[in-house]
Structure 1
Amino acid sequence: MEPGLVSRRPKRADARRNFDALVAAARDTFAEKGAQTSLEDVARRAGVSIATLYRNFPTREDLVEEVHREEVEALCRAAGDAAGLEPWEALAVWLRRFVEYIGTKLAFADALNRSSDGFQAGRRAMREAGGPLLERAQAAGVARREISIDDVLRMISGISTVEYADDEQRERVLDVALAGLRPWPC
């Protein structure tokens, strides 16, 4: 688990199953209907009572933060998976994964701008995961040196939250953004 990203996952097997079912149901429900979807729908989809949901997640924010935490952990693992690739390819592969993360989880699109501890820990974890990929690409001379990981994360977040005509248009826009990260010709 990334530093600062703390899960409330219970230790007992039955409680852990309920917790995991709630997180999975919330992830799917939020992706389909947005973060403001009914918590009763989440509990129903998880196959547990609303009381079980509230016992694990006293507030909607707690549930959203847990789903976000798991998504951030997967995104951070993707940075590690990409690290073995050539510098530019590693950065581009991770940024494409980042677009998928935001694009399929619009419930979290504004999470990067929230001030709660859980979301701030997620932002730090994403910077720590993507920063070395950007730095390596910059050191190899395949990414502009004046760009920071915060610049890149904001750019990708913005690209990810726009409505596109189709996947091909989203890919074209991402390609333009990635080209902007490349050093300018002299």
Structure 2
Amino acid sequence: MAEEELRAPRADATRNRDQLLAVATRMFAAAGAEPSMRAIAREAGVGIATLYRHFPTRESLVDAVYRDQVVRLTTGARELLGRQPPAAAMRRWMDLFGDWIATKNGMLDTLLAMIESGEIAHARTRTELLAAITTILDAGRAAGDLRSDVTAEDIAAALIGIFTVAPRPGHEAKAGRLLDLLMDGLRARVP
């Protein structure tokens, strides 16, 4: 291997990449249509060449944002359980899921094309997200906080329904109320 391939990225390059991911995520969530690559670079405070050095195509940026969000959801389940009781962790995870759904707003056309072409494995993402929900459900069942007759698929379907009728941005209060109602139904009832 060449020496260049063995070197870690420079600190400023890592910062730029992280900044681009954060800005792209925020802009995708707020946009009704896909923002331009130039607008993302400008908002991140970098030149367009810097953006293209990290993400040579729109697809590579969308892929990076999508994967980053999935990792945040899957690791978020364990992190939340480490800090909160299972029922509280589940409710907070639902908010993270809503953020993930909202991020798709401004990258939907590209994302759908990538799923259609097989560049993004939708089935794998679904499996990872269901595993994250199951992690919290299992902890909640063990603690006696969450019902034992609910599946991860039930929760995923309910969340998709909620964020379909109360999409973010713009309907945060309605989504929050519906998520609270869902959580009330998920709590274990003491006989």
Q: Check whether TM > 0.5.
A: yes
Question: In the TM superposition, what are the counterparts of 1:63-82 in structure 2 within 5 Å?
Answer: 63-82=61-80
Paired positions, count: 177
CA distance in 1, matches of 2:151, 2:119: 23
CA distance in 1, matches of 2:62, 2:43: 16
- Structure 2 match to 1:148: 151
CA 109–75 in structure 1, closer or farther in 2 if over 3 Å, else same = farther
CA distance in 1, matches of 2:33, 2:60: 12
CA 118–18 in structure 1, closer or farther in 2 if over 3 Å, else same = farther
CA distance in 2, matches of 1:155, 1:95: 10
Give 1 or 2: higher helix fraction. Answer: 2
Residue deviations 1:77-98 (CA, integer Å, cap 9, x gap):
4322321433333323322333
Identity %: 38
CA distance in 1, matches of 2:141, 2:65: 32
CA 121–174 in structure 1, closer or farther in 2 if over 3 Å, else same = same
Shift of 1:134: 0.8
CA 45–136 in structure 1, closer or farther in 2 if over 3 Å, else same = same
CA distance in 1, matches of 2:86, 2:11: 42
- Structure 2 match to 1:24: 22
Amino acid at match of 2:74: C
- Structure 1 match to 2:3: none
Is structure 2 residue 170 aligned with structure 1 residue 171? no
Of 139, 145, 165, the match for 1:162: 165
Shift of 1:107: 3.8
- Structure 2 match to 1:5: none
RMSD: 3.5
Amino acid at match of 2:80: A
CA 77–63 in structure 1, closer or farther in 2 if over 3 Å, else same = same
Question: In the TM superposition, what are the counterparts of 1:33-44 in structure 2 within 5 Å?
Answer: 33-34=31-32, 36-44=34-42
- Structure 1 match to 2:45: 47
Residue deviations 1:42-101 (CA, integer Å, cap 9, x gap):
122223333332332232221112122223333334322321433333323322333344
Query: TM-score when scaled to structure 1?
Result: 0.71
- Structure 2 match to 1:129: 132
Structure showing greater Rg: 2
Query: TM-score when scaled to structure 2?
Result: 0.69
2:145 and 2:188 in contact (8 A); partners too = yes
CA distance in 2, matches of 1:157, 1:108: 18
